Amino acid sequence: MYLKELEIMGFKSFSDKTNINFTKGINAIVGPNGSGKSNITDAIRWVIGEQSVKALRGNKMEDVIFAGSDKKKASGFAEVTLVLDNYDRTIDVDFNEISITRRMYRSGESEYYINKTQCRLKDIVEMLMDTGIGKEGYSIIGQGRIDDILNNKSDGRRIIFEEAAGITKYKHRKAESEKKLEH
């Protein structure tokens, strides 16, 4: 599985609809300071459900919506679609391509879609569990994350290994059913 495409619209510095295509293997994004490179990785984090404003380098969630410039007015919503190549069936669904979309309005309300069908964030989180892509996954290694992994207390490090071993999903399901039993 690999990241095939990213479509960004009204997210941070990307006011117009922007498509970025990636190929299998190593892809590098280069550009001057402030040109939007980190905004691209923020978009990837955000579309898979990042809820932490700090992780997205903002003060409030609304900061992810294009704020306007001299020539362009501010956007009413931000929308990011990430397309995964699933030809190898890393994700156990019968699709060669899986798209994940998040749209957020200034009211703060987010909508999520898998292959253009509206879903809950929970569906995306569960689909990505054990693939390494999710929020707790190891496929996005930001600055500081390496230190986290090296310095982590054994508990934190175990979470990373559990994700790699593919048992996060089962632990999550167990916790969910235990929660149900309590109620």
Residue number, 62 or 126, with CB nearest to ligand ATP = 62
38 is in an annotated binding site: yes
Cα dihedral 57, 43, 141, 100, rounded to 10, equals: 140
Tokens matching residue 149: 């992994």
* Nearest distance from C-beta of residue 68 to ligand ATP, angstroms: 7
Q: Is 154 annotated as belonging to a binding site?
A: no
φ, ψ of residue 77 in degrees (nearest 5): -155, 165
Burial 31-69 (b: 16+ CB within 10 A, else e): eeeeebebbbebbbbbbbbbeeeeebeeeebeebbbeee
What span, in angstroms and rounded, lies between the C-alpha atoms of 153 and 157? 6
Partner interacting with residue 35 (select from Mg ion, ligand ATP, none; CB below 5-8 Å by kind): ligand ATP
- Please state the closest distance from residue 162 (CB atom) to ligand ATP, in A: 31
The two structure tokens encoding residue 96: 């060669």
Please indicate if the annotation marks 69 as binding a ligand.
no
Structure tokens at 49: 């459900």
Are residues 103 and 119 in contact, defined by beta-carbon separation less than 8 angstroms? Answer: no
Is 41 near Mg ion (CB under 5 A)?
Answer: no
Residues that bind ligand ATP (CB under 6 A): 12-13, 31, 33-39, 63, 65-67
List the one residue from 2, 13, 18, 38 that touches Mg ion (CB under 5 A).
Answer: 38
CB of 118 to Mg ion, least distance (A): 32
Q: Is 75 labelled as part of a ligand binding site?
A: no
Residue 139 binding result from ligand ATP, Mg ion, none, given CB thresholds of 5 to 8 Å by partner type: none
Residues that bind Mg ion (CB under 5 A): 37-38
Q: Which residues are annotated as a binding site?
A: 32-39
